[in-house]
Amino acid sequence: MRSNNSFFVKAIGFGGGALLALLLMAGASYADSIGGPGSTCGTCQGSIYTLSYDGSPLPESPNDPANETFRVSLTIDTSGYNGGGSYLDQVAIKVAPSVVSASLFAAPGGTGLWNLQAGGINNSGCSGSGSGFECANFVAVAPPGVVVPNGTYVWTFDVKVANGDLLTGADQSSIKARYVDASDNKVGALVSEDITLQVNTPEPGTLSLFGSSLIGLAAWLRRRKAMA
């Protein structure tokens, strides 16, 4: 009986601690987004911006021991956008002082609608300058970009950098974005902000499923204790 009680306490303690840790991680993650209505972000224009990755590099070729590749996502929730533009046509991220190579893994409407080039963004678009920046440019003429305000868009970059170069400190990374009118002319401020690269956390549904599993485990352990 003493052994069963010990197992029960340890299992529930471990599960509860794990769930609490996940919830705390989720809270910290959401706090790292910038922008939104009422925000002090100077150029965000009501949209919410999140820069995230999985916390570890992708598997790297053994022939390239000096570099590592990270899959980084820029998420922009444009539902609160208030800058007066009709489209979002370019975005750029900087997660390291310099980049060995980069590619687009995913983008709104598919990667075929976006052209990736090194450098940041100025008022005229992807500038081709700015060490460490990678710029994704919408290539279609009509429409000139994705519609705003219109919910959430996600761009996912695979960025190869030298070992140890990933910028993981508070507000060390940077993002840029350009909103335009139907003629592809910039409208409002050019988004240019420092941001924290955060580690992805489980979706709320995942947390709910985990919690349900813990409840089921607790019920099973009670039945086992009663039968002992």
pLDDT of residue 123: 95
Q: Which H or E run contains 51?
A: strand 48-53
Q: What is the DSSP string of 93-137?
A: EE-SSS-SEEEEEE-TT-GGGEEEEES-EETTEE-S-STTEEEEE
Q: Are 60 and 152 part of one and the same domain? A: yes
List C-alpha distances in Å: 184 to 14, 27, 112, 173: 54, 37, 19, 27
Cβ proximity of 201 and 26 under 8 Å: yes
Backbone φ, ψ for residue 143 (5° rounding): -70, 165
Query: Are both 139 and 179 inside the same structural domain?
Result: yes
Is residue 92 located within the same domain as residue 146?
yes
Pair (140, 163) in one structural domain: yes
In whole angstroms, what is the distance from residue 156 CA to residue 104 CA? 6
Same domain, 8 and 63: no
Helix, strand, coil percentages for the chain (3-state, nearest 5): 25, 35, 40
Same domain flag for 43 and 117 = yes
50's CB contacts (< 8 A; 6+ apart) are 32, 33, 34, 73, 74, 75, 76, 77, 198
Report the C-alpha gap between 166 and 116 in whole angstroms: 20
Q: Are residues 116 and 17 in the same domain?
A: no
137 neighbors 125 (Cβ within 8 angstroms)? yes
List the domain range (segments joined by +) for residue 50.
34-195
pLDDT (tens, 9 = 90+) of the chain, 228 residues, equals 444 444 433 443 444 444 434 443 443 334 489 999 889 999 999 999 999 999 999 998 888 999 999 999 999 999 999 999 999 999 999 999 999 999 999 999 999 999 999 999 999 999 999 999 999 999 999 999 999 999 999 999 999 999 999 999 999 999 999 999 999 999 999 999 999 999 997 555 434 444 454 455 455 456 666 666
Residue 140, CA distances (Å) to 70, 96, 103, 111, 143 in order:
28, 29, 19, 12, 6
Domains identified in the chain, total number: 2
pLDDT at 162: 97
Please check whether residues 39 and 140 belong to one and the same domain: yes
The span from the CA of 168 to the CA of 112, in Å, is 30
155/210 same-domain check: no
| pLDDT at res. 151 | 93
Q: Does an H or E element contain 71, and which?
A: strand 67-77
Write down the pLDDT at residue 3: 46
Count CA atoms within 13 Å of residue 112 on its CB side.
1
Instruction: Please check whether residues 122 and 168 belong to one and the same domain.
Output: yes
Note whether 93 and 161 are same-domain residues: yes
- State residue 205's pLDDT score: 47
Task: Give the pLDDT score at 226.
Answer: 62
Q: What is the pTM of this model?
A: 0.78
Distance CA 192, CA 44 (A): 8
List the CATH number of the domain containing 65. Answer: 2.60.40.2230
The predicted structure's pLDDT at residue 37: 82
Residue type, 35: G
